[in-house]
Structure 1
């Protein structure tokens, strides 16, 4: 089937569940927000036995104390502290569940620690940010934890909260979901997530990914244009929680 733009209308649209639980609309151009609806994830859904909101907060506080002592935290603070930020809202996308009994629970917790740390670094004094999060695997306990942290969990369309003054945090969200759904026609001030490429051909290993390859390549090139990028500093507390994450911000206008 051809992937040329002129033939989108003749393709039959269908919804496919990705490995991470997102609904991906393939074979057509999704309407705003239609490509990322909440589905029951293929991952485990049972919460850790005996886990409560208070216990989650206690875990998070302990991890944040450890974070502050790491070289990653110190290097990140130096890196982001060199700029004057005008961030007004933040969108956290695809972070995973903090309460489901699965192997990646603490990975998600450490990613939440990073999200909160960056918020503190870019927040203007006395001006709290509007914070949002979307994740198909969120449990009611996850949602209540986020609410305690001042973060609003939304079931869909978190991209509607992304503006030119946003911090977008999407740790390891796949390119074929991230670009056409969450970053299309968006120009956030700060982005932390997977590296943004201009050519995803090597990774288009299914018909669903091939269907959006041309569009994603264009979106990737456009997004990376006039943006500086840095690696999230090495994090010694957890082997793969933050490994490979990239930071992008707009170049200064006079550069």
Structure 2
């Protein structure tokens, strides 16, 4: 079945969706995006995604073309038109078509380009990888210094993911100055002596929406959390490791490079956090 997508206010078949070759999202990577999970036909953490979207647009000085109600209505319409029960909604906003390729921003009244589309992921809450965990390699983090902005400049994370796949692993953790920053598309955590450890928010990492929810739920469950840097060696010696993201929720990591983590199997802290996250997120989904 051909998907229906959203393009600048219109709902059209994906085969008919066209954006100018001069759009700055295409020629400059000058665009912001968000990806929202869908469970049971409802949007997970939608207000958080909207808050981060507005922050990222502000950091890029891109005009926000719609209000939250309009974004919500469009997301819900796409879910309805495409029959999505479990899946994802992708939203991208670029600075628009400047009429030519130029490093100078186009006039402020240039309409931003707004694109949304869905993809279907039946049973995503029951991902079988939760039973085995994932394995990661470590790679140098050579991205730009504003990783807190959710921009479409994803060439290096994609290359790192492919390097992990070539090594027979599931993902890569990126390392800067000896410390883990994050995964290619997720936030990174370890569990050591009963304490959940993850890097503090800064320009160095994406301010994950799932991260914020998981840490809030961990606090409510009276789990101990430390937001600080940790080394690869510390991670390899940890009792558990895991990642969080909008598509993976909470996913255990059982191997980092050649070192098995803990018992080499998913641990109880990650399992409990995933359980709590899914339960509470479903309650607040819209």
TM-score (norm 1): 0.28
Q: Which has the higher helix share?
A: 1
TM-score (norm 2): 0.25
Q: Which has the higher strand share?
A: 2
